[in-house]
Structure 1
Amino acid sequence: MLIDTTLLVNNPDIIKGLLDGSMKRYGSVIRWAAGTENAGQIVRHLVEAPGVTNTVISGAKVIGEGVNYYKLLGIEKTLSSVMGLSQVAAGASVLNLGVSILGFAYMGYKLHQIQKQLGHIQQSMEEGFDRMEASLYRIEGSIQKGFSQVGVSLDRVEHRLNIISGQLGYLFLLVEDNRQKQQSLAKAISHLHQAMLIKEIAALNAELDDRKRFPDESSRESLKVASRVRLFLANQALQATPELDAELMLNTDISIQGWAVATATEAQLLLEIGQHQEARELLAIEVPKFKQVAERWGNELISDENPYLSTTYRFNHSRFQEYITPERVERIVEISPSDRTLSSEHIRTKKIHVDVEFEMSHSSQWDQTWLHRQIAIAEYLDTLSELSARLDGLQSFAALCESKNVSSSRHLLPDYNAATGLYVLQPNE
């Protein structure tokens, strides 16, 4: 290796900086925190040793759970918390924390999990439709039977029948409306499954598996597949108009995660074969577009009818304390242009306004449904922010590879015999 790699747990300076707040994790890099002399500058890059990927895959239950995951790596819960990993949205774990091509196996695993989960959702919904359809047939049979019985004494119960008929019609409309919406969602999932997961993500997954089995083979075919998948899924993500709608958010979420994986895969392959400039050019195009999409969703989902609550800092209120950590709020701020540029004084004012609004408003406005919706928004936006940060970190790693003029990114990374854990790399001076 051309530069030193050190296990994170063995680097007291980095750990001290994370604990005292002078350093912050941002995606796959550690930077000097705001307010320090070198604010924003990279302190170290984070990469994973090969064993981490294998351990994570074998321990599937801990994927996406920052605290347990980092206990697995020998890092204490305290450090996991200050790194902002105690509550990272599970969707963000579709990219490995570091920038090593050794994470391909993990990315492939996550893609397979996404495909499998959507299949289960579709199957469950189809079973639900069958039960609903059977129930509708029973209702229809009961109504027909009731009509025949009523027909015998129609004159006596005509008025009562009109009332019952009106009620049945109302209930039928409710059931039918719900059924149509669920069928629409099921069709969307089915189309998504066929057009995106089976055709595109499965192709990329196959290439990732192939790279894992034959790491020394030519990258040409893998690059072609990654490029095709990236273009397809980026197009899907860019076309979506942000809206708080379950069907739309589902479709866009899969598109965005797949886009991030394909982009990272293509860039990492280029870095592995020494085409650093090409990797940087690719990321220079894709990362700004990805950030733009993340910010569009941030603007839409953070927006609220109450102008005082149209801020990420509403999640800092005590009612969210059990569900949304301060680290998650900080990550969401990164994709909220209106919040990201606020001064400390303006942030304090925002929080005061939020507290006043919650205290002055009727509690019925903030019921359990509203609370769950806000938690869902926070997790969705956290995924976008974390993926954006990790792609940004990949840009920094590409710059490091180019500055060191290495023939392959592998020369900067821990080898296959390295101890399991997270490693830190010296950034470009």
Structure 2
Amino acid sequence: MSLPVTVTFMLTDWIAKGLADGTFERVGGVIRDVATKQVVSWLREKESNNNEMPNSTPSPNNLLNLIFSWANLTASGANAAVTGKGLANVNGRLNGIENQLVQLEQSLQLTQGILQVTTATSVLNLGVSVMGFAVIAQRLKELEQQLQKAQEILNQINRKIDLSLYANFRAAIELAVNAFTMNKTENRRSSALQAINRFLEAEHIYTEYTDIEIEQKSQIADKYLLTLSLAYLAEARCYLELEEHDTAFRRFQEGSKVIRSRIQKYVELLLTSNPAVYLQPQFGSHIDLRRLTRIYQWLDPMLDENAVFDMQRMNLFMLAQDPNKWVESIPAAIWDSKVDWVGKAFWDDPKPQIYARLPKTLEVVESMIETNRRFESYQTEVQAISQLGISFHDWLKLTPSTEIKPDDAELMYIIPSQPLNLQISS
């Protein structure tokens, strides 16, 4: 069957150019036109053998591939000039190419690898197709282990974490896995619906847990929020396996609303009462205004660097005038005196310990935003499956037909024959 998409391991020149000049942007697992919001490509991560939490450290090979794919366009012009203008002109053109490559590489680095690489890791992969039940189970296990470690610390203040419900979630995943290995359609559907009911129960439970922990400004709020994301994803995956695309899309939409609102509360919590604290000189090599602006643009896309700086002018002054006032208002999600300052003398200064945590805290903020964007981008895949007339199982099987996969290929690009108008609801 001929499908209206091109699947490749190499990013095409025109998309690379659009990303470099700002015409296109990556939002989660999609590349889209900034102006029209039309989707021009999906990103699909390679499937990991061990299903470990993805590490989004920039890959030099992928950056160079993008740079040189764009350079080919310019280099072809230089080659054509050989016969007409001589070697001197060619050298001049090549110098120009070199300058463009340097500028392009700097641009890509400044945007922190606008494709598959960001400074933020995520509990979710790029591409809903690679978020199978085995991957969801592994992510759930990692979150449960993190909560177990947190429990050891919270025992100091007699705070208990209820981990028993994670066993129910795991059982629901196992039920779903078994359902989709059954041969008889009626048995498969019946078991899948039982799993869906358990995932729905998990959604209600972890929504409540998340709300409680955010209200308490807790250090474990993000773990419950990520668990909630996995519950919605597992439910939607069941509907996709059943080829119930409309229902899967609706559940992704509803899940996006629930998750986005809570991630926003959590992000605002971690920005603290005075976000200018992240712009202190001591963080200059790690955190700059551009990085903080990207976070604010997720909250309000209309903001630019100037607007964000204006928002922080008075905050910077207030922080310099009385830093202790900010310390008194810091949420327990970042630093909890009952846990982190036990045994200290009253004259000890907690600020160095608190400040040391801020770079990591900002990474958590970026990770939560990246997770939200990836979850929301799953909606576009489900819409595409319907619009392009592809079954979910055919979508899973998409792979380049003629290309040999490079050893260092981390992504596959799925490019529709025409940009698609697909909506992302949040």
2:29 maps to 1:46:
no
Aligned to 2:413: 423
C-alpha distance in structure 2 between counterparts of 1:389 and 1:364, whole Å: 34
Change over 3 Å in CA distance of 1:318–1:14 after alignment to 2: farther
Change over 3 Å in CA distance of 1:264–1:102 after alignment to 2: closer
TM-score by length of 1: 0.65
Superposed counterparts of 1:54-73, under 5 Å? 54-55=48-49, 57=51, 60=52, 63-67=53-57
Query: Deviation digits for residues 274-330 of structure 1, max 9, x if unmatched?
Result: 2222122222222112111112223333241xxxx346xx53554334444777535
Aligned to 1:411: 394
190, 204, 208: which is aligned to 1:231?
A: 204
Query: Deviation digits for residues 145-172 of structure 1, max 9, x if unmatched?
Result: xxxxxxxxxxxxxxxxxxxxxxxxxxxx
Aligned to 1:98: 127
Aligned to 1:375: 359
2:176 maps to 1:182:
no
SS in 2 for 1:274: coil
Change over 3 Å in CA distance of 1:289–1:412 after alignment to 2: same
Aligned to 1:242: 215
Superposed counterparts of 1:258-277, under 5 Å? 258-277=227-246
Is contact 1:268-1:279 (8 Å) kept?
yes
Shift of 1:384: 2.5
| Unmatched 5+ stretches in structure 1 | 126-179
Aligned to 1:295: 264
Aligned to 2:295: 332
Aligned to 1:342: 303
Aligned to 2:16: 15
Change over 3 Å in CA distance of 1:417–1:27 after alignment to 2: closer
Shift of 1:182: 1.2
Quote the sequence identity (%): 18
Superposed counterparts of 1:354-365, under 5 Å? none
Change over 3 Å in CA distance of 1:399–1:416 after alignment to 2: closer
SS in 2 for 1:422: strand
Superposed counterparts of 1:68-217, under 5 Å? 81-83=112-114, 86-90=117-121, 92=122, 94-101=123-130, 103-120=132-149, 122=151, 182-185=156-159, 187-188=160-161, 191=162, 193-194=163-164, 196-200=165-169, 202-207=170-175, 210=178
C-alpha distance in structure 2 between counterparts of 1:342 and 1:8, whole Å: 35
| Unmatched 5+ stretches in structure 2 | 68-104, 328-350, 422-426
2:316 maps to 1:285:
no
Shift of 1:257: 0.9
C-alpha distance in structure 2 between counterparts of 1:98 and 1:25, whole Å: 13
TM-score by length of 2: 0.66
Q: How many residues align?
A: 342
Is contact 1:96-1:103 (8 Å) kept?
no
Shift of 1:109: 1.6
Change over 3 Å in CA distance of 1:271–1:318 after alignment to 2: farther
Is contact 1:65-1:88 (8 Å) kept?
no
Change over 3 Å in CA distance of 1:409–1:368 after alignment to 2: same
